[in-house]
Amino acid sequence: MSQSVDIIDQISDMFEQQGQATYLGENISIAEHMLQCAWLAKQAGEPDEIIAAALLHDIGHLLPRQRDNLQMLEGKDAYHQSTGADFLAPWFSRQVVTPIRLHVAAKRYLCAINSEYYSKLSSASKHTLKLQGGAMSCEEIGAFEQQDNLEAVIRVRQYDDDGKREGCSVPLFEAYSETLAKLLR
């Protein structure tokens, strides 16, 4: 069995085992949230890289060495976005990994540039925003806007915001295995 297949199996196992935990104060599990995000991206006709990023954007919450659910509830940011992106970087291109790495920064950015955005966040997202540094400063906005794939990062963030519906029926992880396999380095 190749290492490529092994990583997809490993991610699938993480969805199945650790993914059943409640998603940081939301009424769905972490896996349900990520699957909803991927489904929304697929329904919107996004390219495979965006679908994969939407599916895997919160994988940092599922890593065995990362107990950030507990840390976030204790009032500490565990930087799941960086942990998840670092975990995936050996396997996937920057078109997949960068939106994962920057999805928290995108929330901070959107809060800074759009006064209505904050009011649309769930209460759990508002809580984690405080732990993640709040809305960006003017200097941070300028630096963030220099990203060469800013639009993709923002789209993944929007799927993250929308993928929190209780009782939403979406395809399981296995529906994305072939897509992920095509994107492996």
End-to-end Cα, the chain, rounded Å:
16
Please write the tens of the pLDDT for every residue from 68-125.
444 545 555 567 899 999 999 999 999 999 999 999 999 999 999 998 999 999 888 8
Domain spanning 3-183 has what CATH number? 1.10.3210.10
Q: What percent of the chain has pLDDT over 70?
A: 89
Highest mean pLDDT among 2-16, 120-134, 145-159: 145-159
- Cα–Cα distance between 134 and 126 in angstroms, integer? 9
The tokens describing 98, both together, are 């960068």
CB-side neighbour CA atoms (13 Å) of 129: 21
